[in-house]
Structures are given as structure tokens and as C-alpha cells.
Amino acid sequence: MLTKFFFAMGATLSIASTSIADEAVEAFDFTTEGTKLVTISNDRDASTADLTVVENADGTPSALEWVNRSADRPARKTFRLNQVAQGVVLEEQQGIQALSLQGNIDRNGKGELTFRYVANGMSGKYATCKTNVKRTSGGDYALTNSAGGSAQNAKIITWSFGIETIQGICP
């Protein structure tokens, strides 16, 4: 049934293998060096996923890392910033891009990221929410939604045929 098909970040929406360019990335090592932008939970199970900024040795942002801690199929994906600029899929199931991300973060740690999610899998409708990224004076990164609110913690709210909203990211 399609209802089960579109659960966000649960056991039905995880990818176990990942890569940076053509280099393999360990899928189950959740040790991440970087600054967490957001932790995303969902209304279907207890799993969470983190989106983290990874920096080069000189402190400039170089990649984003997505770590899904789903109990059934945990996954880790690392995307170089040039890949994020083109758009990357965070969660996919059976060819449907349930959650994707596109945007940029400049050398100073400032940028915009747009989350795109399947709003209605029956009709193929997607929705988007824009966020802003900014390096703080302490060197951490802050993610804010388009209303200016903190997007440090978010929750995917699902319905029978897709994702209704991402609380905290979508105002």
C-alpha cells in the first residue's frame, strides 16, 4: 500500500550505501567531525537524522553529511558542496525522492539551503522550504527557517500519501 511507501526517515525510507564522488563511505560509523545544522525526527517512529557541516583543515565548509539513525537501515551520506549546489537526495525509496536538498554555503559559512519533499506521492506533487545557514561568532553554524526561527530541531509530519510538512524548517 502507498501509505507505507512514503514514511519519512523510517525503516521504509533509508539508503544503506553512500559515496563521496567515487570513494566509498562507511555506512554505519556515526562519528562525525563537523557542526550539526539540524536533527530531524518524524511522526512514524523514533529514528532521527542529522545534517552536519563538514569543514576542511582550514575551517572552510567543504561538505554536508546526512546521518540517518533508522533502526532497520541506518545510513550515512556525505555530499561535497558542489554536489549540494546541484541538488542531492537525502531519502529515497523505490525511485521516489522523498527528501532532497539544494543550495550553497560559501567560504565564510553563509548560505541558503532548500529542502524539497514529496507532498503527494499519488499526484507527484513536491513542496519546498527555504532555510538560511550562517556561521556564528563561536564558529558553529545556525540554520534558520524563512520566518527567521531556529531550525535546529525539526520533525517530519506525514500523511497517507507523503509528507505534510517539516515542522521547524517549514514555517
Region at 9 (left for phi over 0; alpha for psi -120 to 50; beta for the rest): left
Q: Decide if 23 is inside a domain.
A: no
How many structural domains comprise the chain? Answer: 1
Residue 4 has pLDDT above 50, yes or no: no
In this predicted structure, the answer to whether residue 20 has a pLDDT above a threshold of 70 is no
Candidates 36, 26, 58; CA nearest to 141 is 36
- Do residues 13 and 91 touch, judged by C-beta distance below 8 A? yes
Q: Is the pLDDT of residue 157 over 70?
A: yes
Determine, yes or no, domain membership for 19: no
Residues 38-70 have pLDDT tens digits of: 999 999 989 999 999 999 999 999 999 999 998
Would you say residue 48 lies in a domain?
A: yes
Q: Is there a domain that residue 43 lies in?
A: yes
| Alpha carbon distance 109, 135 (integer Å) | 5
Q: Is residue 21 part of a domain?
A: no
Give a yes or no: residue 91 inside a domain: yes
Q: Would you say residue 112 lies in a domain?
A: yes
Whole-Å CA distances, 23 to 26, 78, 80, 133? 10, 10, 12, 27
User: Please, what is the average pLDDT of the chain?
Assistant: 83
pTM, entire model: 0.81
Confidence of residue 72 (pLDDT cuts 50, 70, 90): confident
For 152, the domain range is 2-14+33-167
Q: Model confidence over 114-130: pLDDT tens digits? A: 999 999 999 999 999 99
DSSP state of 47: -
Percentage above 70 pLDDT, the chain: 81
From residue 142, give the alpha-carbon distance in Å to each of 43, 113, 132: 24, 12, 8
- Residue 28 is assigned to a structural domain of this protein: no
